[in-house]
Structure 1
Amino acid sequence: MKEITVLGIESSCDETAVAILCAPASTGARKVPTLLSSVISTQIALHRQHGGVVPELASRNHSVDLPRVIREACRQAGIEPGQADAYAATSGPGLVAALLVGNTTAKALALTTGKPFIAVNHLEGHMLSPFITSDEGIIPHLALVVSGGHTLYIDVQSFGNYRLLGRSLDDAAGEAFDKVGKMLGLPYPGGPEIDKLAAQGDSGAFNLPRALLKDPGMNVSFSGLKTAVLYTLPKLTPSGNPADLPEQTLCDLCASFQQAVIDTLITKALRGLRSTGHQSLALSGGVSCNQALRNQLQATCNLHGIRLILPSPAFTTDNAAMIAFAGLHHALHGHHHPLDCDVDPNLKLTDESNRSKQDKYIGNH
């Protein structure tokens, strides 16, 4: 059976990533795609010095690192860059200068080889990542995308058939983790640090808010929770300096904050499952590697007879395997994009006007 090979590039924020994936060139095939390589060059150490991502530094380092990462991914896959059948890159959302580095590189490869270029929505990549290693294909499900920049509940009927049910009205869950981590004096990124400390804490030690739980809709909010932690700090230590907190108190505060986030996410997920009738829930995004969230979501799904689909830990944070996977499905459906299409730092996944804009790019190369 003829196969299609896709080279994917991810550069939306502070990870420079390239992956090469191949699969049968048929939408009806159920064979698990073969991930030939997935290489990530992280900039965490660089941005940790500044307490968060500095856009100019991110784009500059993408430019420096990307050629090397492409060479390494191709070496591991046993192919030359020009041997791929299509080139996919993140087109948004993300940091515009960072997006341009990967996007322009993929377009250059497509132009040089005369092969298709595919612009991939970063959120679609995350949303589909739990199915990269699945031999069932993309099944109908409720998608919960929880990352540093987004918290989304999406009704997924099939590839390309998505309906937004709810989102964060302010801070995304991952953003709240990182901001609270920063106010607690924890290293960047704060999410993994809070997860580790919370494992040693009492999640009921502090009564922190869970916004919009009584609201009948699917939207969530974490800004008030973040502010509540900020106002709690001066009550725990006269200086207000988190460095003066007793270690157990810090662990308890992390556990209480984390539990408030998890309670909100799970409550809304159950509401979404009831409203759609889906029997499967797929969790994705950087926060999906949070161990407490995984454990409690699994226990909740077991209790309600829901199948929980989790991505491999390697596919939770920003990576190019998810971009190549989404690009593969676009290629199998005959979707590709012209070389003059723009990146969009605010690209939506399900917005009607955005969908119409993307549809006009679909055509024959």
Structure 2
Amino acid sequence: MYIGFDTSNYTTSVATYDGTKVTQAKKLLTVKPGERGLRQSDAVFQHTVNMPMLCTQLELSVPKAVGVSNRPRNVDGSYMPCFLVGENAAAVLSSVNSVPLYKTSHQVGHILAALYSVNRLDLINQRFIAFHLSGGTTEALIVEPDDEEIIKASVVASSTDLKAGQAIDRTGVMLGLSFPCGRELDLLSQKSNRCFKVKPAMLGINCSLSGVENKVKNMIDKNEPAEDVARFALTYVAQSVNAMLRGVIEKYGNLPVVFSGGVASNTLLRKTINDNFDAYFADSEFSLDNAAGIAIYAYLKDNE
């Protein structure tokens, strides 16, 4: 058995992997009504409280190796204090049991979890396109095999300003939804019969999402139905990501495409992409923040 820890900005997560099956336990961090995020000190405190409970739920035994995400991405300067909680728990478990500890990024965990979910872990041995769509990241990546990190993800396109998750959460908060707002906004948008024609704001193959917030404010000021506001915001995000993918394929070729990150669980986004491209989307439990990919990373590193 291999154990993975992930303490991202909004979810505490622990998972195990036996080489075939993932088992995980996770808890969403609490954000006060009306607020659009958490201070790092609050996130660290909640992770510290959640961690023992989640480990008890999984009834952890002595692992063969331990994995942990200790940074958002595998680039210089990528750092968030909240990842220290998972890193400390992993270090103690590794030390007490004298088993290897493997560290990677939250982003690599997302990609591996998505590959596991769609039964395509074999893609770690070839070049493919991955999208990481979340509150802090809206990136198109070229992913290649790597001797040190299992996979190396290089950013080839991104949002130049607001991230997809930020656009969704800010819309949701303005509509009075609970943060993070992705799931509620998705359900609300499905009540709308409006069809919005959106022209994405593109800078080459990069997208700009800053216009969403102002347009949403205008719709709310005009007392347009909440479900229509939700539908517009998600249409804008979906069409922007669709345009990014088209540009990436034109530039880098028709490679396999995998979507990861919480925003990738959105219904409208999935339909928009699948209507135009062949792409893999992870199940929701493996799209949202999770430690599954981290446990899988530990397994892969230990069996190189």
> TM-score when scaled to structure 2?
0.87
- Aligned partner of 1:19 in structure 2 is 15
Inter-partner Cα distance in structure 1 for 2:296 and 2:14: 12
Question: What is aligned with 1:186?
Answer: 177
1 CA distance for matches of 2:175 and 2:11?
A: 25
- Structure 1 residues 92 and 184: alpha-carbon distance in aligned structure 2, compared to 1, 3 A threshold: same
Task: Measure, in 2, the Cα distance between the counterparts of 1:197 and 1:64.
Answer: 32
CA-CA distance at 1:99 after TM superposition: 1.2
1:262 counterpart SS class: helix
* CA distance 1:116–1:299, shift in 2 (3 Å): same
What residue is the counterpart of 1:146 in the other structure? 133
Give me the whole-angstrom Cα distance separating, in 1, the residues matched to 2:255 and 2:38: 41
Partner of 1:349: none
1:261 matches 2:261: no
Q: How does 1:104-183 map to 2 (within 5 A)?
A: 104-133=88-117, 134=119, 137-138=122-123, 139-158=126-145, 159-183=150-174
Amino acid at match of 1:164: V
Q: CA deviation at 1:38?
A: 0.6
Q: Distance in 1 between matches of 2:283 and 2:195?
A: 30
**Given the alignment, which residue of 270, 279, 298 partners 1:294?**
270
The match for 1:317 is 288
2:6 corresponds to 1:10: yes
TM-superposed CA distance for 1:288, in Å, is 1.0
Q: Is the 8 A contact 1:17 1:38 kept in 2?
A: yes
Alignment correspondent of 1:326: 297
Deviation at 1:326, TM superposition (A): 2.6
Say which of 103, 125, 135 aligns to 2:87: 103
Q: Deviations 1:246-266 (Å, cap 9, x if unpaired)?
A: 5xx222222122111111101
**Runs of at least 4 residues of structure 1 off by over 3 A?**
94-97, 202-205, 330-333
Cα 1:201–1:95 change in 2 (3 A) is: farther
Q: Distance in 2 between matches of 1:251 and 1:68?
A: 37
Partners of 2:82 and 2:16 in 1: how far apart? 20
Question: How do 1:214-229 residues align onto structure 2 when only pairs under 5 Å count?
Answer: 215-216=203-204, 218-229=205-216
1:143/1:283 contact within 8 Å kept: yes
**C-alpha separation between the residues in 2 aligned to 1:220 and 1:146?**
13
Matches within 5 A, 1:25-44: 33-35=20-22, 37-43=23-29
Equivalent residue letter for 1:163: S
Larger radius of gyration: 1
1:53 corresponds to which of 37, 50, 53: 37
**RMSD of aligned Cα (Å):** 2.2
Tell whether 2:201 aligns with 1:211: yes
Amino acid at match of 1:211: A
Query: What amino acid is the match of 1:72?
Result: Q
Aligned partner of 1:353 in structure 2 is none
1:239-254 correspondence runs (5 A): 245=223, 249-254=225-230
Q: Post-superposition shift, 1:135? A: 5.6
Partner of 1:63: 48
Alpha-carbon deviation of 1:323? 1.6
Which SS does the other structure have where 1:38 is aligned?
A: strand
Q: AA paired with 1:297?
A: I
Runs of 5+ consecutive residues of structure 2 not aligned to the other structure: 73-77
Contact 1:155–1:164 (CA under 8 A) maintained in structure 2: yes
Q: Which runs of 5+ in 1 are unaligned?
A: 24-32, 237-244, 334-365
CA distance in 2, matches of 1:140, 1:176: 30
- TM-superposed CA distance for 1:110, in Å, is 1.4
Partner deviation per Cα, 1:81-133 (whole Å, 9 max, x = no partner): xx211111111129834211111110111122222111120011112222114
Aligned equivalent of 2:254 = 278
Contact 2:34 2:176 in 1 (8 A): no
3-state SS, counterpart of residue 108 of structure 1: helix
Question: 1:48, CA displacement in angstroms?
Answer: 4.1
Contact map agreement 2:4 2:292 (CA 8 A) in 1: yes
Which one of 56, 63, 67 corresponds to residue 84 of structure 1?
A: 63
Matched-pair contact (CA < 8 Å) for 1:210–1:225: no
- Give the 3 Å change call, closer, same or farther, for CA 136–113 of structure 1 in structure 2: closer
Q: CA, structure 1 residues 172+203, in 2 after alignment: closer, same or farther (shift >3 Å)?
A: farther
The more displaced of 87-96 and 58-67 is: 87-96
Q: Look up the SS of the partner of 1:137 in the other structure.
A: helix
With over 3 angstroms needed to count, the CA separation of the structure-2 counterparts of 1:176 and 1:165, relative to structure 1, is: same
TM-aligned CA deviation for residue 58 of structure 1: 2.3
CA distance in 1, matches of 2:302, 2:254: 27
